[in-house]
Amino acid sequence: MSMHMKITTVACLASMAVAAQVVGQENAATPRPLITVDAKAPQRAVSPEMYGIFFEEISHAGDGGLYAELVQNRDMEASTIPQGWKVDDSNNVLTPLGWRTRRWFKTDLPGWSFLAEGGGEGSMQLDVNTPLNDRNPHSLRMTVTKRGTRCGVVNSGYWGMAIQAGEWYDATFYARTEGQGQGPRPRGVGLVFSLESAHGGKLCARVTIPEVGGPWRRYTLSLQANASDPNCRLVITPIEPVTMWLDVVSLFPRKTFKDRPNGMRRDVAQMLADLKPGFLRFPGGCVVEGCTLYNRFRWKDSIGDISQRKGDFNLWGYYSTYGLGFHEYLQLAEDLGAEAMVVCNVGMSCQARRPAEVADADTLRSYVQEALDALEYAMGLATSEWGAKRVANGRTQPFRIKYVEIGNENWGPDYLRHYKVFYDAIKAKYPQIITIADAPPRGQQSPEPIEIIDDHFYVSPARFFGMANQYDDADRKGPKIYVGEYAVNRGVGTGNLLGGLSEAVFMLAMERNADVVRMCSYAPLFENVSQRNWPVNLIQLDSSRCVGRSSYQIQRLFAAHRPDVVLQTQVQAPQVELTGVPALFGGGGQPEGQTSQWLKVRQVYALAGLDSKRGEVVIKAINPTPSAVTGTVTLKGLTKLGTKAKVYTLAHADATAENTLDAPNVIVPKESEMAVAGVQFPVNLPANSVTILRLAATTSG
């Protein structure tokens, strides 16, 4: 779908108030957009933590995404629903308070299947007798009555396991058999572990582990692949008939991000590192709240040995193992060089999933304690109760937590009451921690002490283009702002360039007001393309690939070219109408797939700042129209200008273009250089583009 541009109106475009300018039809006489930077005017500091990351277990962001575990449903608990919940005849899950959500799996052992080849016979069942431990009540009972050529169980991973020739894979599992000491093999049965292509055509690795049997025991083995396949399965077959119980069957690539055990997928985590995030927010998002209070992210169940963790059916409709748990989040933040931002449950379940549960005054104390214990786990002395557990889990030195958000998307009188109790308790014990409050409903003021407010926006491109001056009038005396979740998620397919350009316009507004907007994070971060819970996400992945959408490229550019102070920037450019824009208002008004009449944008949006460390002025300019335009940049109050500028351009002729797993490089930044003749120079802004210029300069003042 192509877009057309009509310059129709008289327009005055101000980053910081400029005079109106009349613009007629587009022709040779159309004045150039003017970008005027005044380094002598008051400057606003930009926090090093301006651009961060929001992580939540949604769309298999963790299990089947960032977390490198290859086995799906390793603990056989995936079909377990939280206490008190029910499953109806249509495979919906119902909470005790009546919230209904789809249950995506139809078997009681998702991820697992039974294999019988060449006359093999047997079965597989979910079993609750003789559990491994009380936190893992279910196990898989594999019965092989006739071996045939081979017979056993298969795990298909998270829509395939990516195996690479030459690499090592480490497996651990628990097994038990009954009737130990009897029969021809009193000490157990050999188990064959094979990594092979989805239908068995190609064998990538095979190892036999002898003598598996007796009471529950942990076994380990390593496999080196001699062939590659992005869509493997793990096949476990006994070498003779047996009934065997299996639990916590885990398989990790030996190479994880920073080589952490129980670690992250290298390729995926590297994409986060490339964003150079100022902070990492975790664990969410609505998973912090849960559909019920029991269903909240329970950090204490997410630490320690993986066989002792107790996962949960999360409110996005699938089971989380909690393998990527509180300790791993803290470690990841450190490995990314990002400040940790922990979001804690505030004694309230998700209010969007009505009716919500609210802890009463007595139980509220236990939720406050839960948050304090989390902080003690991360930062407490080795002699403290929870600090000792951190040390036992392999981390002697405390982790660092800079921010704690009290609740996620909670509001109303209950929230304000709970917020105050949490705020007081956290500040009393950890005065250095900066707290964040959920945004009060628009127009309402919170009476409580608030340091930072978390603002969320999921909107259409039209809305973000219309928010180019957001925060210009924000109360400079009130709390600071953290835009914790924002994205265009309607009318842009699974995330096209037009969406990204409008986000970039909103990001300029945040950066320009960086004295008030201290931090922001795009959301959600990931989707496994095999199970999308949210329409548009920053990074798409499958078992072997990951791709950053154009929004990812924009996030990366903005973080890499974050100035430490913004300079007063005036932009004069006409307002234009884009016609033939596909379904910009889908989701809220106009349905997806229809074409809206028009979209009003400015021909150019821009903002300049200084990178003092590198002694460079950084100019970001956005042209969201389908026509290239040449603007004129004027720099005032800057001296010692370089004669060359580095130019980073993200552009595509078609604003509806998207990066996909199959075509990941459709929209990627290009680097070039341009000559700069003095304090005034022309700059080419291609159609549908973000352009960043960097040139050596110092301020004269």
Footprint of ligand AHR (CB under 6 A): 56, 58, 284-286, 408-409, 485, 523-524, 534
| Secondary structure of 460-485 in HEC code, one letter for each residue | CHHHHHHCCCCCCCCCCCCCEEEEEE
Tell me the CA distances in angstroms from 497 to 109, 185, 553, 579, one per residue in order: 40, 63, 10, 16
Give the nearer residue to ligand AHR in terms of CB position, either 284 or 325.
Answer: 284
What 8-state DSSP symbol labels residue 353? S
Tell me the CA distances in angstroms from 569 to 40, 50, 312, one per residue in order: 11, 19, 50
* Alpha-carbon Rg for the chain in angstroms: 28
Shortest distance in whole angstroms from residue 315 CB to ligand AHR: 8
Please enumerate in sequence order all residues whose Cβ is within 8 A of that of 231, keeping only pairs 6 or more positions apart, or say none: 159, 160, 161, 162, 197, 198, 543, 544
Shortest distance in whole angstroms from residue 283 CB to ligand AHR: 10
Report whether the peptide linkage leading into residue 111 is cis, meaning its omega lies within 30 degrees of zero: no
Give the nearer residue to ligand AHR in terms of CB position, either 312 or 485.
Answer: 485
Which is nearest to 470 in space by CA: 484, 485, 481? 481
Q: Which two tokens stand for residue 548?
A: 């950053």
What is the distance between the alpha carbons of residues 474 and 413, in angstroms, rounded to a whole number?
Answer: 24
Length of the chain: 701
Shortest distance in whole angstroms from residue 116 CB to ligand AHR: 42
Give the nearer residue to ligand AHR in terms of CB position, either 408 or 496.
Answer: 408
Residue identified by tokens 């300069």 is: 697
Residue identified by tokens 């106009």 is: 590
Shortest distance in whole angstroms from residue 439 CB to ligand AHR: 11
Shortest distance in whole angstroms from residue 99 CB to ligand AHR: 15
Asked if residues 141 and 243 have their Cβ atoms less than 8 Å apart, the reply is: yes
Shortest distance in whole angstroms from residue 390 CB to ligand AHR: 27
Give the nearer residue to ligand AHR in terms of CB position, either 386 or 486.
Answer: 486
- 409: annotated active-site residue: yes
Give the nearer residue to ligand AHR in terms of CB position, either 196 or 455.
Answer: 455
Which is nearest to 249 in space by CA: 319, 211, 306? 306
Please enumerate in sequence order all residues whose Cβ is within 8 A of that of 389, keeping only pairs 6 or more positions apart, or say none: 303, 304, 377
- Ranked by CB distance to ligand AHR, the top (closest) residue is 285
At position 569, the amino acid (one-letter code) is: T
Which residue among the candidates 289, 409, 511, 616 is catalytic per the annotation?
409
Shortest distance in whole angstroms from residue 501 CB to ligand AHR: 21
Give the nearer residue to ligand AHR in terms of CB position, either 253 or 284.
Answer: 284
Shortest distance in whole angstroms from residue 483 CB to ligand AHR: 12
Give the angle 24-25-27 at the CA atoms, nearest 5°. 110
Q: Which two tokens stand for residue 656?
A: 């509806």
Please enumerate in sequence order all residues whose Cβ is within 8 A of that of 375, keeping only pairs 6 or more positions apart, or say none: 342, 401, 404, 426, 429, 430, 433
Give the nearer residue to ligand AHR in terms of CB position, either 95 or 623.
Answer: 95
Give the nearer residue to ligand AHR in terms of CB position, either 58 or 657.
Answer: 58
Which active-site residues does the annotation give?
409
